[in-house]
Amino acid sequence: MKTTIDLPDDLLHRAKVAAAQRKTTLKELVQAGLDWVLRSEDETANRSAALARLQKGLRLGGQPLTRDQAHERQ
């Protein structure tokens, strides 16, 4: 889909230079940048959900071990 965006002249110039240095197009550079930003947001959400699960903990049933039971050698 085609779209139009307004960019500051300096940013557009730097983007064109960066695309040329990478031997790619401005379109591909913008696509890669948007993909990176959106993927980063997804990873942050996944990390936050995983951290919340860790902080909540797991209930496996049973009773916690006492210190002596945990350190008992068999």
- pLDDT 10s digits, 42-73: 788 888 888 888 888 777 778 888 888 888 87
Residue 22 in domain: no
- pLDDT 10s digits, 16-46: 999 999 999 999 999 999 999 888 887 888 8
Residues 6+ apart with CB under 8 A from 21: none
Residue 41 in domain: yes
Q: Residue 45 is part of which domain span?
A: 27-55
Residue 18 in domain: no
The model's pTM = 0.55
What average pLDDT does the structure give for the chain?
88
Residue 6 in domain: no
The predicted structure's pLDDT at residue 60: 75
The predicted structure's pLDDT at residue 42: 78
